[in-house]
Structures are given as C-alpha cells and as structure tokens.
A and B are shown apart, each in its own frame.
Chain A
C-alpha cells in the first residue's frame, strides 16, 4: 500500500511520553508473552494517534525486547496500521461485498477523480485521509456506507458522499486524536 502525504499536510507529532505511558501497561512475564504483546501495543498507539512513527516504534521495540525493523515489518503487513500521519479528517470507506453490490466502487472512483486519493492516501491539502476497508463495517443494510471521523453515512450516492465530505471539512478539524 503506497501512502503519499503531501509536505503541506498537517504532520501531527506523536507525544512520546504518552507512548511510554501506554507501554507501561504492558507487563510481559516472559519473552514469549512480550512477543505476543507487540501487535496489541502497536494497535493501541495506532488507535490513539492514527499512525505509528519510527520513534514510537523504537519505544515499543525497546520495551518488548525486539527491533524497530521487525516492527516496521508488522506495520507494513497489517492493513490497519499507518506509518504516516492522517489528514484532518479520516474516512473508512467500506468496500465489503454489500457495499460493492450497492455501488461503493463509484465512491472509490469519485475519491480518485475529485480528490486525487486512493486507499491509504491523504489529499494534497491535508484535509482527508481515506482507508478502503476490504473487510466489512457490519452495517450492511445501509450500504454503501462510510465512517467519516466518528459518524456513519449510509445509503450513499456520489452526491451525498461529496456533501458529507464537504460538510466535515467545513466543520473543521476532527480533533488531534483522530479516532
């Protein structure tokens, strides 16, 4: 998955003290358990900040007795992780089968045509990051559906899709810790 973030995008810094605080809750009793906790730790950081930076990865590696290298291998394998910060707004675009048969491909197309972004990318103005969900958001009777910041928008047409994005951008930043 390629991720292009424009230099003008809001580069959110990760508060490393907060990362250390998160890590202090992980108390492996042995080496095996430490390895089992790597993914959980990364998930918590990814959820809190929207991405995992190299510095954060190093803290995790040190705490759990592994290397930043291995952590990078995990971050790039599992689709939920990001190694670049998100834009001001974050969208999960459900591309499960229900959404596909209801026309989610048109929304993916619209993102490419109008906003110039593909899966994992951020718009040039740093406003919107999209992640295309290959699984399912589980709200199939309202397909096609997206989760934009904290809100769901269902039964979308291309028009209502654009409207939702414009409204979110007009309303301003969704907060530092994009959920």
Chain B
C-alpha cells in the first residue's frame, strides 16, 4: 500500500466516521469536519504536480485476488492528476459552499457528507485505478453514491424518479462497459490498462476489438450524458445544488471523458472510435445547447448546457484520436491540438460551470425560485452574485477576457483542422463539423446571455418571488469567487497551466507523440484576424440577435413535442418492463406452496433423474450388503406401515404418534447399526418433538380432509412416488459405484490426534468443531425465533394497517 492507495481510501473511511463525528460534536456543522478531507487530499495531490510535470509517473500495485488477475493497482500520470485535482479542489469548494447552503437544523447532514465523501473516494478510485475490474468497481460506486445524493431529498417524488433514472442509465452503461473490459481482458490476457496500452498494436486485428470499443464507449456515453443517454442529467438536477455543482458539472459526468481519454491510446486511430466519439459528441453539443435555450428552470438550463459542453469535449477527443491513425509524424501532430483543446476546456468547464451552479444555488436560496419567468432585476439586490454570473457565463459563451474564450477558439481551430483531414472519408463529411460546431456555439452564446440577463436585469417583480432578495452570506460567495478568480487567472496565464498540468496529460494520452515538437501549442489570446476569431464574432452577433428575437424562435421548438421525445421513450420502456415482468411473474408465482413445490420437484426429477438415466450410472449390486436378521425386517415393515399410515389417519394425534413410532424405530436402528450416540440423541429428541407436537395441537383445530378428487391427488401421488423412486435409485447407484475410499479412517486416530476415544464426539468437538459451533448458533437462532414468534404480538390496529 503506497500513499496514493491510502489517499483513495481516506474519503471512504472518512465517510464511515462522519456520522460518528455528528454524534460526538452535535453543535458542529458537519461540513467543517468533512472539508478537512478534500483539502488534505488536494494538498497531497498538488505536491505531485512538479514531479508529474517533469515526466514522472507513479505506479503501485497491491495484490488482491491473484487468480483473477485482480490487483488494487494505481497509476498516477498527467491525465489522472488533472482529474484528482478537479475532484479534490472543486470538492473542497463545494463542501465549503454546502456548509452555508445546507441547513444544519433541517437536513440530515451526516448522510449528506457520508455520501459525498464516498463519492469522492469512488471518483478518485476511477481516475487512479490501473486494473480494469477495480476501475469498474469504483465506477459503479460513483453511480451508487450519485444515486444516494440525487435522492437525498427522498421524500420528493421527483428526486426518487431522477435518482432511479440516472442509476438505471449509468449502471446499464456500466455493465456494458464491464463486458467491454472482459473482452479486452480476453484479447490481451491482462487487466492492467498500462499493459493493454503497451500492446495496442497487436490488439487491432482481433475480432473482438470493435465490439469491445463500442461497449466501452456506451459506458462512457451514459456516464457523460451523451446523446441519446443525456436524458438522465436534467432529472438529476433534483439533487441539492452543491451536489449538482460537484457531481453533475465537475466530476462524475467527466468520468466518461476520463474513460475516453484513458482508452484513446488503445482505440484511437480506429475509424469506429473516431466517428462514434466525435460524431456523438458534436451532435450532443448541438442538441444540448439547442435544448438549453428553451428551458425555464435555471438548473435545467445548466443541465442542458453541461450536456452540450460535455459533447464539445467529447467531440474534441474524437477528432484528436485521428492523430493515432498510422505513425506519429509531424503532419498528424496537427490533429493532437484537438486533444489539447479537450483537456483545456475540461479544466475551464469545471471552473465556470461549478461557479454557475453555485450562483444558481445562491439565487434559489436567497430568492426562493429558479424559474426564469419569475426572476428579473436582481442586480440591485445581489451585485456580487451578478458580477460572478457575468464572469462565469461570459466564459461559457466564449468571450474574452475569460478562459472559455481561449478553449473555444481552440475548439474552432480543431474543427477547422478536421475539415482538412484526409482520413476516415472526412473529405466528404468534414465540413459538417465546423458548421454544427458554429451553430451549437450560437445557441451556447444565447443561453449564456439568457442566464445572466433574464435573472439579473429586466423588470423586478416582487410579487412573484417568495422572499425579498438580498445578497448571499459571504461564506456562500467564497467558493464562486475563487472559481471566478481562476477563470480570469487562466485567461492571463494559460501557458503555466499548460506546462504543469496539460502537457503531462498529453503525454499519457498520446504516448507515441510524447515530448514531440508541436505537441504542446503555445496558447495566446491574440492571434490575428483569423477564421476562428471571425467565427467568434459571428457567434456573438448572431447570438445577440437571437436573444433579442427569442419569442419568435420558440415556434421552432414546437416541432419537437414532448410526447415524441427520448424521455417519453424511456418512460415507456420502464413501464413496459414493469408490466411485462409483472405479467410473467404473476403467471407462475401463484401464492400456492404446492405449486412452488411442484416446480422444485419437477426440476429435480427431470434434471437429476434424467442425468441418472442418460449417463447410465444406475448399478444395483446388493452383493456387498450386510446380513439381514428377521427382527430387522419386522422393524422395517412396521416403519413402512407407520409411514404409509400417516396420510390416511383421521386424527392428527395418531399421525404425531405414528411419527413418534418412526423416530423410536430409527433409534433402534441406530443401536443395531453401532451408533450409540445417535440412539441416545434420537430418543431424547423424539420425545421432546412429540411433546412439542402435542403442545401445539392444543392450539390448533383438528386437521381438515384433503381434497379427494383424482385431479388433485394423481399429480401428488405421481410426484411423491417419483421422488421416492429417484431417492432409491440414487442411493442404490451410490452403493454400487464406490468411486474412492472412505476418508473416515483418518478419524480413527482420534485418540492420538484429539485425545478422545469416542470418534464421533472427537469429530464433533475437535475435527469439525466449526460445524458444531455453527450448529449451536442455528439452534440458538431457532430458539430466539420461537420465543419472538410467541411473545411478540402486533397490537390489533397495527396488524390491520399492515394488511392493507
């Protein structure tokens, strides 16, 4: 276990201790306890920056299940480092923000911070794991903790719906990814991602290569809310705003991007990968921004804008993967700019989108609504929040002097480069990329402006608001102020960021280009009047016009009615699935014990009996039998008669006594067959059992007659005779086929091994004491069960309610 292992496990352990802290210090807002974890982690990871920037990587592995090639292996390189810094850095800010957002009195903070820290640990696990299966484990853990966080206000129906939806979609994608991982393992024979990257050239020819690629991409797309899996993200906005700011803008949705980046060295250069990643990405970018414009709820608007931005980054990763087609050359190094832009925008997006979510949270918190139709004119009441909103949304729109401008320009450069590509039949389709990207950017500009100006400018209508608005407390403003500071800082010092964080990540995504000239572009805000700048100016002009004339545009949205959306398709699938499984289940789950027993016996007879017959293992060989005495035959006959008599008796008392007869006869057999311990036990147990039966009969009515009709009795008879015959056949075949010697002779040394002359008791108390211990435990549980059943009684009223 290295330090990095402990860093992953630290938040998960802290999640277990946070509730205890709540008990120990009830006056403390738990956030102050929780915030120490991400701050500590952040400072640890920052300390790795110089080493990583100079080209180091940190790998370590802890053996877990050798046989399954399952190791807790971690790999910290440039790519992982960016994500760990985002996770812990934004995590610290979000926890700080949540201390002022989440009320200590009204919310269950112990749960909130436990889930949040669990998520943080899972996320760190995802970005640091080097073992496919461990990565998958952490991946699903992020889904689980995200589910818990979205459903944090679980009394709301929408929260539960949103949580279920995001869980179903992301876990579904996760399972598809798992299958892809297994295929990768089959192809490469290893679970280590770095080893798989090392053998990328040999994998391309494998027939499973493309299926694995598609399946892994489905996992990434569902997590990163790419079209058509994006539908879960708007519903996930039911989560408390700090959660949305953390999970659904900066971290969890970026896990899919991480996965794509991590596997680019493996799959990059493949046409399917290129088209899927860039095509789905660019369309998601367009669709998300297009849908964002029509939203009335600020958080929904941000959700769609996140979808759009994720699509943008995704498409850049796709376009950049073209660089891996063929060898690394000075020509194809041009395409790597897209990957650089993707990483740059990924960092920028985390800053401005995190800030925007926090700002929307502040508006919601201080005004009581997020509805754009009610908001307006807040600038007079919340000047600081307004300034922050301007900074972050202008950055999102791609305007200077904010970091979004730089990465948006690089995005335009990348799509224009794509237009020049001669690979993957881009000659025909290449022009689509700049066009769709530009249209999407116009919408992006539009919704960014709507976000700011509809909320803070325009008419102020007090009567529509729940509270009188006022500026947020300083504690809530600190985190967005820091993020906005970063937005401006990155604009002025982009190359420092590039040197310390982005270039090591470039080296790990594009190992074949590592440290090549031209891989790391120099970022400059001013690069002359080129096509990119003209595109940005066009976006701003057309976007401004679009916002002004917005009400005419709403007509366009009527072409996409709600009932034909993907969302309604999802709802239909969900309800159809429920209906079908209900129908199927209620067909055989009849509620009759007898039917269930018929299924069990049917399968038993069919499978076991069939195997016995088909394998021809029925051998009846009575030659080795022990001799028979007359009195033994008499006991056998008595027992058989007593047994057969039981179903025919009219009185349950007789039946219980006949059962007693059987028990005592068995005790006699135990004596005859040299088992004195058994005989003694059987005698006592049989007595106590009979007493029990008689005691219980005291409380029960005389038993009723069974159905006499042949229709009921015949199958019963057939099944029971079949079972008897099957038992006899199996037992006789076992007698006839002695496959190996008995192991019992070992126990005959019990005097030397265990100091006991009684072999049976030596086995019970010594050789197999574990069985005996558990047996006592079972007995004890049964005793508790009996006692509880008898003594605990629901009060009359409660029982009625239970049955409703």
Query: Is this pair of chains taken from one and the same complex?
Result: no
Q: Identify the A interface with B (CB < 8 A).
A: none
